[in-house]
Structure 1
Amino acid sequence: MSNLIKDTSTNITHVNYAYSDFHLEEKYIELKNILEQKSHAFIVFLGALIGGVFSLFVAYHVDIYFLNYIFFTILPIGFAYLLRKIYINTIIKIE
Protein backbone atom coordinates (compact mmCIF):
# COMPACT_ATOMS: atom_id res chain seq x y z
CA MET A 1 0.00 0.00 0.00
CA SER A 2 2.85 2.42 0.73
CA ASN A 3 4.28 1.77 -2.75
CA LEU A 4 1.04 3.03 -4.26
CA ILE A 5 1.34 6.30 -2.33
CA LYS A 6 4.96 6.75 -3.45
CA ASP A 7 4.01 6.25 -7.10
CA THR A 8 1.33 8.93 -7.01
CA SER A 9 3.70 11.45 -5.48
CA THR A 10 5.77 11.55 -8.69
CA ASN A 11 2.72 12.68 -10.64
CA ILE A 12 2.17 15.56 -8.23
CA THR A 13 5.60 17.01 -8.98
CA HIS A 14 4.70 17.04 -12.67
CA VAL A 15 1.49 18.94 -11.92
CA ASN A 16 3.46 21.40 -9.78
CA TYR A 17 5.91 21.87 -12.61
CA ALA A 18 3.07 22.70 -15.01
CA TYR A 19 1.65 25.12 -12.45
CA SER A 20 5.09 26.69 -12.13
CA ASP A 21 5.25 27.31 -15.90
CA PHE A 22 1.78 28.84 -15.82
CA HIS A 23 2.78 31.00 -12.87
CA LEU A 24 5.89 32.23 -14.68
CA GLU A 25 3.84 33.07 -17.76
CA GLU A 26 1.42 35.00 -15.57
CA LYS A 27 4.33 36.96 -14.05
CA TYR A 28 5.68 37.62 -17.55
CA ILE A 29 2.36 39.09 -18.69
CA GLU A 30 2.05 41.15 -15.49
CA LEU A 31 5.58 42.56 -15.89
CA LYS A 32 4.93 43.37 -19.55
CA ASN A 33 1.71 45.22 -18.66
CA ILE A 34 3.52 47.26 -16.00
CA LEU A 35 6.29 48.20 -18.42
CA GLU A 36 3.78 49.10 -21.15
CA GLN A 37 2.16 51.63 -18.80
CA LYS A 38 5.42 53.52 -18.23
CA SER A 39 6.44 56.20 -20.69
CA HIS A 40 10.19 55.44 -21.09
CA ALA A 41 10.71 59.04 -22.20
CA PHE A 42 14.45 58.74 -22.84
CA ILE A 43 14.05 55.68 -25.07
CA VAL A 44 11.19 57.33 -27.00
CA PHE A 45 13.22 60.54 -27.41
CA LEU A 46 16.24 58.56 -28.59
CA GLY A 47 14.12 56.63 -31.10
CA ALA A 48 12.55 59.83 -32.42
CA LEU A 49 15.98 61.43 -32.73
CA ILE A 50 17.39 58.46 -34.66
CA GLY A 51 14.27 58.34 -36.84
CA GLY A 52 14.47 62.10 -37.49
CA VAL A 53 18.12 61.93 -38.54
CA PHE A 54 17.38 58.97 -40.78
CA SER A 55 14.39 60.81 -42.30
CA LEU A 56 16.47 63.90 -43.02
CA PHE A 57 19.21 61.79 -44.58
CA VAL A 58 16.78 59.97 -46.88
CA ALA A 59 14.78 63.11 -47.68
CA TYR A 60 17.93 64.90 -48.78
CA HIS A 61 18.63 62.23 -51.41
CA VAL A 62 15.15 61.74 -52.95
CA ASP A 63 12.67 63.88 -54.83
CA ILE A 64 9.92 65.25 -52.62
CA TYR A 65 6.33 64.24 -53.28
CA PHE A 66 3.29 64.44 -51.04
CA LEU A 67 3.52 60.75 -50.04
CA ASN A 68 7.18 61.23 -49.14
CA TYR A 69 6.20 64.01 -46.72
CA ILE A 70 3.83 61.62 -44.99
CA PHE A 71 6.47 58.88 -44.90
CA PHE A 72 9.15 61.19 -43.51
CA THR A 73 6.74 62.43 -40.85
CA ILE A 74 5.74 58.93 -39.75
CA LEU A 75 9.28 57.49 -39.80
CA PRO A 76 10.52 59.10 -36.52
CA ILE A 77 7.33 58.02 -34.76
CA GLY A 78 7.83 54.48 -36.03
CA PHE A 79 11.45 54.43 -34.87
CA ALA A 80 10.43 55.66 -31.42
CA TYR A 81 7.72 52.99 -31.12
CA LEU A 82 10.03 50.24 -32.40
CA LEU A 83 12.87 51.17 -30.04
CA ARG A 84 10.45 51.29 -27.09
CA LYS A 85 9.13 47.80 -27.91
CA ILE A 86 12.68 46.44 -28.20
CA TYR A 87 13.56 48.05 -24.86
CA ILE A 88 10.54 46.53 -23.11
CA ASN A 89 11.22 43.06 -24.52
CA THR A 90 14.87 43.31 -23.49
CA ILE A 91 13.92 44.26 -19.93
CA ILE A 92 11.48 41.35 -19.75
CA LYS A 93 14.07 38.85 -21.01
CA ILE A 94 16.58 40.06 -18.43
CA GLU A 95 14.07 39.64 -15.58
Structure 2
Amino acid sequence: MSHATFRSESGYRATYQTDATACAAPAERAPAAGSPAAGSPALPDTLALVALARDAGMLVTLDATIGRERYESVTGSIATLARFAQALQLAMREAA
Protein backbone atom coordinates (compact mmCIF):
# COMPACT_ATOMS: atom_id res chain seq x y z
CA MET A 1 0.00 0.00 0.00
CA SER A 2 1.42 3.40 -0.91
CA HIS A 3 0.49 6.75 0.60
CA ALA A 4 0.91 10.37 -0.43
CA THR A 5 0.26 13.24 1.96
CA PHE A 6 -0.39 16.96 1.40
CA ARG A 7 -1.86 19.87 3.34
CA SER A 8 -4.60 22.17 2.11
CA GLU A 9 -4.40 25.93 2.65
CA SER A 10 -6.59 25.60 5.74
CA GLY A 11 -4.18 23.08 7.26
CA TYR A 12 -6.16 19.88 6.75
CA ARG A 13 -3.92 16.94 5.98
CA ALA A 14 -4.98 14.72 3.10
CA THR A 15 -3.81 11.19 2.55
CA TYR A 16 -4.27 9.34 -0.71
CA GLN A 17 -3.87 5.60 -0.58
CA THR A 18 -3.91 2.96 -3.26
CA ASP A 19 -5.58 0.36 -1.02
CA ALA A 20 -9.13 0.16 -2.39
CA THR A 21 -10.15 -2.39 0.26
CA ALA A 22 -10.05 0.31 2.95
CA CYS A 23 -13.13 2.08 1.52
CA ALA A 24 -14.92 -0.83 -0.10
CA ALA A 25 -18.17 -2.22 1.23
CA PRO A 26 -17.76 -5.44 3.27
CA ALA A 27 -19.08 -7.59 0.41
CA GLU A 28 -16.60 -6.01 -2.02
CA ARG A 29 -13.49 -6.40 0.14
CA ALA A 30 -10.73 -8.70 -0.94
CA PRO A 31 -10.09 -11.78 1.24
CA ALA A 32 -6.78 -10.39 2.49
CA ALA A 33 -7.78 -7.20 4.30
CA GLY A 34 -4.36 -5.56 3.95
CA SER A 35 -3.63 -6.36 0.32
CA PRO A 36 -4.06 -3.56 -2.23
CA ALA A 37 -6.38 -4.15 -5.15
CA ALA A 38 -4.62 -4.44 -8.49
CA GLY A 39 -5.05 -1.42 -10.74
CA SER A 40 -7.17 0.56 -8.28
CA PRO A 41 -7.05 4.37 -8.43
CA ALA A 42 -5.95 6.42 -5.44
CA LEU A 43 -8.76 7.06 -2.96
CA PRO A 44 -8.97 10.60 -1.54
CA ASP A 45 -9.58 11.47 2.08
CA THR A 46 -13.06 13.00 2.30
CA LEU A 47 -12.14 15.58 4.96
CA ALA A 48 -9.29 16.84 2.80
CA LEU A 49 -11.56 17.15 -0.24
CA VAL A 50 -14.04 19.16 1.83
CA ALA A 51 -11.17 21.37 3.04
CA LEU A 52 -10.03 21.95 -0.55
CA ALA A 53 -13.60 22.83 -1.52
CA ARG A 54 -13.81 25.36 1.33
CA ASP A 55 -10.42 26.83 0.38
CA ALA A 56 -11.68 27.23 -3.20
CA GLY A 57 -14.65 29.25 -1.93
CA MET A 58 -17.36 26.59 -2.09
CA LEU A 59 -20.07 26.46 0.55
CA VAL A 60 -19.92 23.23 2.57
CA THR A 61 -22.91 22.49 4.80
CA LEU A 62 -23.33 19.63 7.23
CA ASP A 63 -26.68 18.03 6.43
CA ALA A 64 -26.65 15.29 9.06
CA THR A 65 -24.50 13.15 11.29
CA ILE A 66 -25.67 9.60 11.80
CA GLY A 67 -23.36 7.62 14.02
CA ARG A 68 -19.85 8.25 12.71
CA GLU A 69 -21.06 9.07 9.19
CA ARG A 70 -21.23 12.73 8.11
CA TYR A 71 -23.48 13.84 5.26
CA GLU A 72 -22.34 17.12 3.72
CA SER A 73 -23.40 19.16 0.70
CA VAL A 74 -21.04 21.26 -1.40
CA THR A 75 -22.34 24.13 -3.55
CA GLY A 76 -20.72 26.86 -5.54
CA SER A 77 -20.41 28.62 -8.85
CA ILE A 78 -18.60 27.36 -11.93
CA ALA A 79 -15.70 29.66 -11.01
CA THR A 80 -15.36 28.03 -7.58
CA LEU A 81 -15.58 24.60 -9.20
CA ALA A 82 -12.70 25.59 -11.50
CA ARG A 83 -10.66 26.79 -8.49
CA PHE A 84 -11.40 23.51 -6.69
CA ALA A 85 -10.30 21.47 -9.72
CA GLN A 86 -7.10 23.51 -10.01
CA ALA A 87 -6.36 23.11 -6.28
CA LEU A 88 -6.98 19.36 -6.50
CA GLN A 89 -4.66 19.01 -9.51
CA LEU A 90 -1.95 21.00 -7.73
CA ALA A 91 -2.34 18.96 -4.55
CA MET A 92 -2.07 15.68 -6.45
CA ARG A 93 1.08 16.90 -8.25
CA GLU A 94 2.64 17.89 -4.92
CA ALA A 95 1.68 14.54 -3.38
CA ALA A 96 3.30 12.54 -6.20
TM-score by length of 2: 0.30
More strand by proportion, 1 or 2?
Answer: 2
With CA pairs under 8 Å and 6+ residues apart, which has the higher RCO, 1 or 2?
A: 1
More helix by proportion, 1 or 2?
Answer: 1
TM-score by length of 1: 0.30
The structure with the largest alpha-carbon Rg is 1
